[in-house]
Amino acid sequence: MQGNYERIIASIRIARERGATLRVGPELEIPGYGCLDHFLEGDTVLHSWEILGQILANEVCKDIVCDVGMPIIHKNVLYNCRVIIHNGKILLIRPKMWLANDGNYRELRYFTPWMKHRKTEEHFLPRIVQHVTGQTKVPFGDAVVSTADTCIGVELCEELFTPASPHILMGLDGVEIFTNSSGSHHELRKLYTRVELIKEATLKLGGVYLYANQQGCDGDRLYYDGCAMIAVNGKIVAQGSQFSLNDVEVVSATIDIEDVRSHRTWKSRGMQAAEAERYERIEVPMALSGEGQDFLGDVPISKGIEVRYHRPEEEIALGPACWLWDYLRRSRTQGFFIPLSGGIDSCATSVIVYSMCRLVAEAAARGDKQVIADARRIAGEPAESIWMPTDPRELAGKIFHTCYMGTENSSSDTRGRAKRLAEAIGAYHIDLNMDAIVLAVRNLFAVVTGVKPKFRVHGGSEAENLALQNIQARLRMVLAYMFAQLLPFVRGRTGGLLVLGSANVDESLRGYLTKYDCSSADINPIGAISKTDLKKFILYARDAFKLPILDDFLNAVPTAELEPITETYVQADEADMGMTYDELSVFGRLRKVEKCGPYSMFTKLLHEWGTTLSPEQIADKVKRFFFEYARNRHKMTTLTPSYHAESYSPDDNRFDLRPFLYPVRFPY
């Protein structure tokens, strides 16, 4: 947790330099939000107390109220807590009351919610902290902090999203400043909901809302997308970046607390406040506004700003790119390897890597020492190197490796597109034919069984046709890992490469992939992004990144190229699947987001598609989808860990928990 300690201290130092008197950090910032089952280990709690002791003892934390997060065991029960500290003392430990336990979140697996609302108890501190603070026990529970000039209340992440959020009752009891420490992950088009909730929290109620969120990859499929904010009376007055390579980012604002008081003068609010239940107030002998009337003389009050939103295609360019960089530097590998097929999916993954290289180059140009040091280490530069990673194509040439693995079924079009794309982004590219390996496997099977399988176009059965396609796909996975292990050695370096997958969310949902083929990889930046959104991203990147080669990918028909091409037959993805990618997106959202089974999906689609399709046609499409989904669900158990970006992701790890053995023949 030493790195987290250093980042916390750095954020407090920056806040103090800006004249701040209140600092709020993200949820569980001392150990990190993504500890998962490690929260159940006593070591995690012990080491969190050790880090808190170091924070309390650090001189940089003087004369500023700090809100930090960690797990705490109170009376043998584990809670997700905020610890409010000031001048080496703990003022209050505030446990989370409403836990996130949907989708990617499993907080009830580790923590227990605090159920004694507006009540506190005494918490006896461990001796390692007693020696620092001189305190034996501190208040633990649902209370607020009262300074000489205002009152501060705590709200934790999910509590903002609940119908009866704590800020409502706290605000009616006179709390003027609300802090929210969050561990909220990125999802396409999600930020608007978060911003509107923060604005609404203080629009009717009046008040100042300080929202802090983690930013970066915390060791799993999620990217926490920052965007720290400060709102006053329903207006955003400060906003941080949503995607960044920065280890520390501080958002600050200067506010006039009298604006809150004037906002709260309307009578109906006063009548409700007059009968509000009382919160216990923990008093701290300091004023957030400083001493004297001249404190704000030369400091302008922060005004409302227009909230910055990225378009979905920009989110795809930035979010997965930041996630890849965090994963790459923390795994201490030497770069990436991808089988580049000439299709739009592996193209999109490659362009995201190029976007990552662009972000690294921009950070290096700004003089970000951490990014420069990480880039030099990953690129295999010697310790004394002065090389600067300011050219994204040069950086890609050092750390990104692409390979076209052709067979007799591959076309010159896909081979040429793959080569030109690699050249455009600067990747280290290999072009090979793997027919000899495929033929060797086919011949081995023929020798052992006496039967030589044939493709369908050559008179073979469906079983033979599918098996011959799967041989090619799986051999590409084997070759990918071999090249990923040995290419750094070939180039005179040490270490290995991370293999990138490129199966999109729609193909995974439908099961249109071979189990343990080259969709099996170390990580996949597009595994929860739809084909429709990927096309929009490629169109955006064509212009934003000046890559005209991407037009060729947009105009190409998606094809697996696993069957022989004849004068009358060319394999096409949508024809193979029996449904379009746009239809798959609709099915996916209805199945997961709208929680529809076959019947309810059919009834909803009657209204959506009823003007163009008959009820029988709609029923056939729904049946086809659920048939393919059911018989391919087992493939979800082996999906490559993917960047979570879509609300209908079929990720079986923890987001979409369902059986993987289904009855395929539904009695409709």
Residue range 458-509, pLDDT digits in tens: 999 999 999 999 999 999 999 999 999 999 999 999 999 999 999 899 888 8
Residues 222 and 34 sit within 8 Å (Cβ to Cβ)? yes
Nearest to 544 by CA among 344, 224, 315, 223: 315
CA pair distance 103, 249, nearest whole angstrom: 27
Query: How much is the pLDDT for 293?
Result: 47
C-alpha to C-alpha distance for 236 and 231, rounded to whole angstroms: 4
Sheet of strand 498-499, all strands in order from the earlier edge strand to the far edge: 428-433, 400-406, 336-339, 498-499
The closest of 405, 398, 417 to 353, measured between CA atoms, is 398
Query: Residue 47's pLDDT is what?
Result: 97
What pLDDT sits at residue 393? 97
Mode of pairing for the β-strands spanning 235-239 and 215-217: unpaired
Q: In this predicted structure, what is the pLDDT of residue 291?
A: 65
pLDDT at residue 308 in the model: 95
Closest by Cα among 120, 132, 128, 123 to 89: 132
Residue 662 scores a pLDDT above 50? yes
What is the percent of the chain where pLDDT is above 90?
84
Q: What is the C-alpha separation between 407 and 438, in angstroms, rounded?
A: 8
What are the residues whose beta carbons fall under 8 Å from the beta carbon of 614, sequence distance 6 or more? none
Look up tokens 């050790």; give the residue.
50
Per-residue model confidence (pLDDT) at position 297: 59
564, amino acid identity: P
pLDDT cut 70: percent of the chain above it: 98
How far is the C-alpha of 402 from the C-alpha of 537, rounded, in Å? 20
The dihedrals phi and psi of 235, each to the nearest 5 degrees, come to: -120, 135
Supply the pLDDT for residue 106.
93
**What confidence category does residue 567 fall into, taking pLDDT thresholds of 50, 70 and 90?**
low
| C-alpha dist (Å) from residue 26 to 67, 155, 248, 251, 633 | 9, 12, 11, 12, 36
If you write DSSP's letter for every residue of 636-666 in order, what string do you get? Answer: GGGPPPB----TT---TTTTS---S---SS-
DSSP element (H, E) containing 563? none
Q: Is the pLDDT of residue 441 over 60?
A: yes
| CA distances in angstroms from 259 to 178, 233, 306, 410, listed in the order given | 15, 8, 19, 68
Mean pLDDT, to the nearest integer, of 158-184? 95
Mean predicted lDDT score pLDDT of the chain: 93
Binned at pLDDT 50, 70 and 90, residue 570 comes out as low
CB contact set of 419 (below 8 Å; sequence gap of 6+): 404, 429, 431
Q: DSSP 3-state assignment of 518? A: coil
Q: Which ranges of 343-434 does DSSP label H, i.e. alpha helix? A: 344-365, 369-378, 392-399, 412-425
Rounded distance between C-alpha atoms, residue 321 and residue 326, angstroms: 9
Which residues form the catalytic set? 27, 96, 157, 341
Find all residues with CB under 8 Å of 532, minimum gap 6, and list them.
Answer: 581, 582, 585
387 pLDDT tier (thresholds 50, 70, 90): very high
Region 308-325: mean pLDDT is 96
494 CB neighbour count, 10 Å cutoff: 8
Per DSSP, 488 falls in state: H
pTM of the model: 0.92
Q: How far apart are CA 126 and CA 578, in angstroms?
A: 63
Containing H/E element for 433?
Answer: strand 428-433
Res. 556 pLDDT band, cuts 50 70 90: confident
Per-residue pLDDT tens for 235-276?
999 999 999 999 999 999 999 999 999 999 988 999 999 999
Structure tokens at 320: 């997965």
Q: How many CA atoms are closer than 13 Å to the CA of 273, on its beta-carbon side?
A: 19
Quick one: pLDDT band at residue 652, thresholds 50, 70, 90?
Answer: confident
* pLDDT of residue 452 exceeding 90: yes
Tell me what the mean pLDDT of segment 33-47 comes to.
Answer: 95
Question: Is residue 284 within 8 Å of 145, Cβ to Cβ?
Answer: yes
The C-alpha atoms of residue 602 and residue 617 are separated, in whole angstroms, by 10
Give tens-digit pLDDT for 270-311: 999 999 999 999 999 899 987 654 455 567 899 999 999 999
Mean of pLDDT values over 516-536: 91
Structure tokens at 397: 């040439």
Burial label, 76 (beta-carbon count in 10 A; 0-12, 13-18, 19+): exposed
Which of 523, 499, 515 has the alpha carbon at shortest distance from 401? 499
**DSSP-derived secondary structure letter, 55:** H
CA distance linking residue 660 with residue 666, whole number of Å: 15
Q: Which residues contact 450 (CB under 8 A, 6 or more apart)?
A: none
Is residue 95 within 8 Å of 78, Cβ to Cβ?
A: no
Beta-carbon contacts of 146 under 8 Å, excluding residues fewer than 6 positions away, are 152, 281, 282, 283, 284
